[in-house]
């Protein structure tokens, strides 16, 4: 399932869940379910943001955006995180006020049992939606879709907290009714945490943070395995939405031809694109190694001939 379809599915689900939770929560007097409904409503807002971000990111590179529009997805993910945080703070403030009132002796009303049923259905629905969306985000490499998947997971966890709180408040004595706003507070904390997590990673990407160290090591190993490459160094990496940008310096025998050096650099780019996809942006800087004998030159020229033979073989197979 592609990015737009999975986002549309999430939006439809959130419309239904938000409507049911807010209605049943209000009628049954459950603050926890109302808080969970607000969370689902914020999901709907972020679904719209992700959808618009994906559409913008799919635009090809142009004169004003030489590296494409991938950062629009990052902006979308940032917006998702900010909305999550704001929604969590609002729900948390209301829950704290209700808990304070309960401590002072003014207990909230007993929520209806139907609220617990709605929370249980929400747990199952949102967990399934999380798994499907997360798989789509990993497959496409979309930070916005992945962020939205975690939004679904926090909604499932918040529904779980709501279920526990509503059940305790509905089926035990008046002193247990504080569990409903307590569950709403747990929901708020989960939502704020998810929002902060999403904002952090979006800001990392927007400030051109490098890829994780283990990924960088893998890139160097892949480049080093290319015939004719010596001492890959000065690696620079960053993300551009769903695209990865890589810049690396390599050393080759300075006595080989420009054409031979170009073939080696092209092979390096192919190796990197195999790992990250054909849209990966790769810049390879070639530096010469000055040799005193023709031994290294002959060896490298033989390797280049091998590369050309392999290329012709691949073309025949294609």
Express each pLDDT in 235-273 by its tens digit: 999 887 767 889 999 999 888 888 888 999 999 999 898
**Tens digit of each residue's pLDDT (9 = 90 or more) over 185-237:** 887 887 788 788 878 888 888 888 888 889 899 999 999 999 889 889 999 99
DSSP at 210: P
Mean of per-residue pLDDT scores for the chain: 80
> How crowded is residue 73: how many other Cβ atoms within 10 Å of its Cβ?
32
Q: Decide if pLDDT at 64 tops 80.
A: no
Check: CB of residue 241 under 8 Å from CB of residue 116: no
Crossing angle of helices 143-171 and 3-28, in 10° steps, is: 20
Segments of the chain assigned to CATH 1.20.1510.10: 3-206
Compute φ and ψ for 68, nearest 5 degrees: 85, -170
Q: Decide if pLDDT at 277 tops 90.
A: no
Segments of the chain assigned to CATH 3.30.70.1350: 213-317
**Tens digit of each residue's pLDDT (9 = 90 or more) over 80-134:** 788 778 878 887 887 888 788 877 777 666 777 888 899 899 999 989 989 988 8
> How crowded is residue 295: how many other Cβ atoms within 10 Å of its Cβ?
10
Check: CB of residue 108 under 8 Å from CB of residue 30: no
What distances in angstroms separate CA 86 from CA 11, 193, 243, one per listed residue? 19, 11, 29
Q: Decide if pLDDT at 312 tops 70.
A: no
Crossing angle of helices 179-206 and 143-171, in 10° steps, is: 170
pTM: 0.61
DSSP track, 38-88: HHHHHHHHHHHHHHHHHHHHTSPP-SS-TT-STHHHHHHHHHHHHHHHHHH
- Residue 295: which pLDDT band, with cuts at 50, 70 and 90? very low
- For the segment(s) 213-317, the CATH number from 3.30.70.1350, 1.10.287.1770, 2.40.50.100, 3.90.950.10 is 3.30.70.1350
- In this prediction, residue 298 carries a pLDDT of 55
SS3 call for 1: coil
Report the sign of the C-alpha dihedral through residues 166, 134, 20, 93, in that order: positive
CATH code of the domain occupying 3-206? 1.20.1510.10
Top-confidence range, 194-203, 287-296, 305-314: 194-203
- In this prediction, residue 297 carries a pLDDT of 55
Round to whole Å and give the CA distance between 105 and 99. 10
């Amino acid at each position: 399932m592609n990015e737009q379809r999975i986002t549309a599915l999430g939006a439809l689900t959130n419309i239904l869940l938000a409507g049911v939770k807010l209605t049943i929560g209000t009628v049954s007097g459950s603050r926890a379910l109302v808080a969970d409904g607000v969370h689902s409503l914020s999901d709907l807002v972020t679904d719209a943001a992700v959808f618009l971000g994906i559409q913008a990111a799919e635009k090809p590179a142009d004169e004003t955006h030489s590296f494409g529009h991938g950062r629009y997805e990052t902006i979308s993910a940032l917006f998702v995180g900010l909305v999550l945080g704001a929604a969590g703070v609002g729900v948390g403030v209301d829950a704290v006020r209700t808990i304070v009132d309960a401590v002072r002796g003014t207990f909230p009303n007993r929520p209806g049992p139907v609220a617990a049923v709605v929370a249980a259905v929400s747990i199952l629905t949102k967990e399934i939606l999380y798994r499907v969306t997360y798989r789509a985000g990993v497959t496409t490499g979309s930070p916005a879709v992945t962020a939205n998947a975690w939004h679904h997971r926090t909604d499932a966890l918040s529904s779980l907290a709501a279920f526990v709180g509503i059940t305790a408040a509905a089926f035990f004595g008046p002193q247990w009714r504080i569990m409903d706003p307590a569950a709403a507070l747990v929901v708020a904390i989960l939502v704020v945490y998810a929002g902060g997590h999403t904002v952090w990673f979006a800001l990392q990407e927007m400030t051109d943070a490098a890829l994780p160290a283990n990924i960088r090591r893998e890139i160097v190993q892949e480049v080093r395995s290319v015939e004719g490459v010596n001492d890959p160094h000065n690696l620079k990496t960053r993300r551009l939405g769903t695209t990865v940008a890589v810049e690396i310096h390599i050393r080759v025998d300075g006595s080989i031809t420009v054409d031979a050096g170009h073939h080696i650099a092209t092979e390096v780019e192919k190796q990197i694109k195999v790992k990250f996809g054909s849209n990966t942006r790769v810049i390879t800087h070639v530096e010469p190694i000055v040799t005193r004998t023709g031994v290294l030159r002959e060896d490298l020229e033989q390797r280049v001939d091998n590369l050309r033979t392999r290329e012709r073989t691949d073309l025949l197979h294609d």
